[in-house]
Structure 1
Amino acid sequence: MKIMRPLGAVGIAASAFLLAACGSDPAASNSSASSPAAPAASGTAQIDCGGKSPLSGEGSTAQKNAIDVFTLAYGKQCSGQQVNYTASGSGAGVKQFNGNQVDFGGSDSPATGADLEGATKRCASPAWNIPMVVGPVAVAYKLQGVDKLTLTPTVIAKIFNGGIKNWNDPAIKAVKGNEASTFPNKPIQVISRSDESGTTDNFQKYLGAAAKGVWTQGAGKKFNGGVGNGASGSNGVATAVKAADGAITYVEGAFAKDGITPAMIDSGSGGVEMTAQNVAKSLDSAKFLHDGTNDLALDLNGIYASNVPGAYPLLLTTYEIVCSKYSNPDVAKALKAFLNTAATTGQQQLSSKGYVPIPQSLQDKVLTAIKAIS
């Protein structure tokens, strides 16, 4: 897969998704004076600065670090322009967007069904999912004496629905790559998200596709496994695992560090490490739910159920869900400048944040959709 290298960057960049708000705009919609267009760098879109400042957004905690990078790049690209983003979880982001409280929201899964209907009603025009950040989801654990762990989708599903309760369960030992490890007779402490989360939705969709018949709990933004304890936000579950030997969780790859370890996943072709290159390889088979439109919601089920050697299949995409047409042109102008910056200049700054680059072909579609916002 051809990897995007914005502005000639050769490192790996990150990508994430946002849910953007549309339609009638929040009351606090201070507009700055229109600024001259910033010059377009090689390989980027023309940035027409100006419009509302600050823009407001809320939602996904998974993309918070990426949004911080995008905001900094946007401020440099368009002097004086700001974005205020509250990381409260994907469910809250959708609600705030549909409730006309923010200019955009952030979600780790695309707005579909009733959520998309609510967004379209808010916008009084079609609402679009625009992927901006892609990142791996880690099955991250803390277990003294076990520095390397490989899990299959079936074993992961059984851990998170209570079918496997102890670390010395024979099913864990039997996974290829775990033969040399000594697993203690210790209960597995499952930590899940207590808040509504797109990460939870993606994780459960992964289990439903990759461990069909074993994970029968369904998907959705609420954890359905029925075991363990919950913690709020990505940082919350990571912190909970760090504090408890024998704990395990699902969390964005950027948070699987400093005391917790991501497991390798064996989908049938051997254990695959969670690296940007391995995640990028799995994106080769990505398809769109609404092909041929500017709603760029990805259909990840094919990736989740795949068995491509060397491909890490457990990932999420965070989206900007935006209005195709805003009632306030100042919001549209500022949002287009922000998203253009995020999709180009901002990408090269994300390699250190644990995200994965979007392919050039996806970047082209993203820029086309942004251009069409009015």
Structure 2
Amino acid sequence: MRSRRQLLSLLTLSAVGVGSLAGCERSGEPAKPAVAGVKPEAPKAVARPRLEPAKLVAAFQPPKGGYPTIQDTEAQVSLGRMLFFETRLSKNQDVSCNTCHGLDTYGVDNKALSEGHRGQKGTRNSPTVYDAAHHVAQFWDGRADTLEAQAKGPMLNPVEMAMPDAARVVATLSSIPEYTARFRTAFPGESKPVSLDNTARAIAAFERQLITASRFDRFLMGEHGALSEQERRGLETFVSAGCTTCHNGPAVGGTSFQKLGLVEAFPGLKDPGRFEVTHEEDDLGKFRVPGLRNVEKTGPYLHDGSVTDLPTMVRLMGRHQLGRVLTDPEVDDLVSFLKSLTGALPPTEVISAPALPASTKKTPKADPS
């Protein structure tokens, strides 16, 4: 099966030389007023030309020039997979990256707020790690520019993995001979290959492999029968309603920051969002737009995990971001389309926990404090 990396390299072809398809959307004329003793006529369907395939795929193209090329080696990816599952990178040796970003549950834990060190909860929902390599920045407020910068954060965050400092991370990994050997192989020529920076570099190398492909990719490639009639209607509504203003690119989002409540104030919003990073008034209430790949599987939704179901989320976005009250049929179609974005997870041998090396007498002990 072709990987989505291969599919992305061919996306541009799907927008060129593709003829329009004939068809119609669900629609109808207003029902005529009721007359006593006369059965009202059923609304008549109004035929509307479909959007051309080129218009439907244009918003989901990779950026011009593609993504920056990062030469991850097999040794770095293999080490990164081990470190992703390594609980000894946490103070109490009971939390790993996979704890909050379960690879067998589409990169999330399906909790509103994840539990970290000593069961503490943060203030924001844990976003999926799948397809995160295609995001403009990491975290809801975009405070990390790269996957490498993001990987450092949780290890040293007192609420998450709670390691006291970089020295503790290095001491833990350096005390385990297999890790020191793997770091030397993954980062050859470095005098001190075991470091916090290289730990994050390896984890990021592994996360760049976490790309999913769905039936929607087949549609983008020109296989227009890959989507059902309802999914196709949902995609057309998604494009024509303006959803692609924010949810664009290969990840169907993740390419920009947007104010939550752009058209109508969002109820109960207290989180300052990106303002905490930039301290610019214009960024108050702005968040990195989430990618919608696998969105069917990654609830609950929003930065605080306050919305539990996809239809409600769709209605809220229509109202507060587009100023539009979506009809029940529109919501049904949009949800159907969004479910077509659910992709196949990577093979089990890629996302399952690998065998990790045993601790030694020199390995720092767990500290539950």
With normalisation by structure 2, the TM-score equals: 0.27
- Tell me which of the two structures has the higher relative contact order, counting C-alpha pairs closer than 8 angstroms and 6 or more residues apart: 1
More helix, by proportion: 2
With normalisation by structure 1, the TM-score equals: 0.27
More strand, by proportion: 1
